Amino acid sequence: MSKKIIITVTVILVAVIAITFFSKSEKTNKISKNNIDTLTKTNLTIDTSANHNVLVGVWYDESIKSPDGGKVVYEIISKNQQIFMQAVSFKGENLKVSDMPKINDGASELKINGEEYISIENPNTSFKIDKHGDLYIFDIGKLVVKCSRIM
């Protein structure tokens, strides 16, 4: 395949993932049996015992824009033995992040599967965090984007 086709396919896949994050309408207050002690086998540890939302990290995705033209970051949040990932858009250079963020309707719940994390809503989408803290997003096992950790 030519580079142009590969780039086009990658952009489309990233757009589909972002739309999935922004358009999910299921509520996030459902009960889960997703018991996770750590998100990765690195230094990133998650306290899932808290009954309030805890921000685990924030990753910047420079390859995509939100539907309104804003920049996109992904937040990983833990609450009550559950892990969620949500896309958040912002404009300008000032990103404001709470250490106890609200879980949006568009958040995806994640479950652990070995060393990767799978979206419960879309099992074709998986996530890995490397030892440097970078987030890798895969669709059907193919790398879609690498995001740098900013928090």
Q: What is the pLDDT of residue 32?
A: 33
> What are φ and ψ of residue 77, in 5° steps?
-130, 140
Least confident of 13-22, 75-84, 112-121: 13-22
How would you classify residue 51: left for phi > 0, otherwise alpha for psi between -120 and 50, otherwise beta? alpha
Considering only CA atoms, which of 132, 4, 142 is closest in space to residue 57?
Answer: 132
Q: What is the pLDDT of residue 120?
A: 95
Average pLDDT over residues 141-147: 96
Q: What is the pLDDT of residue 46?
A: 52
pLDDT over threshold 70, residue 34: no
pLDDT over threshold 80, residue 13: no
pLDDT tens, 38-68?
A: 343 344 555 555 568 999 999 999 999 999 9
pLDDT over threshold 60, residue 143: yes
pLDDT over threshold 60, residue 142: yes
User: What residue type is assigned to position 64 of the chain?
Assistant: I
pLDDT tens, 84-138?
A: 999 999 998 888 888 889 999 999 999 988 889 999 999 999 999 999 999 999 9
DSSP string spanning 36-71? -SBSSSSS-B--TT-SS-EEEEEEEEEEEE-TTS-E
What's the full length of the chain, in residues?
151
DSSP string spanning 103-138? PPTT-EEEEEETTEEEESS-TTEEEEE-TT--EEEE
Q: What is the pLDDT of residue 47?
A: 53
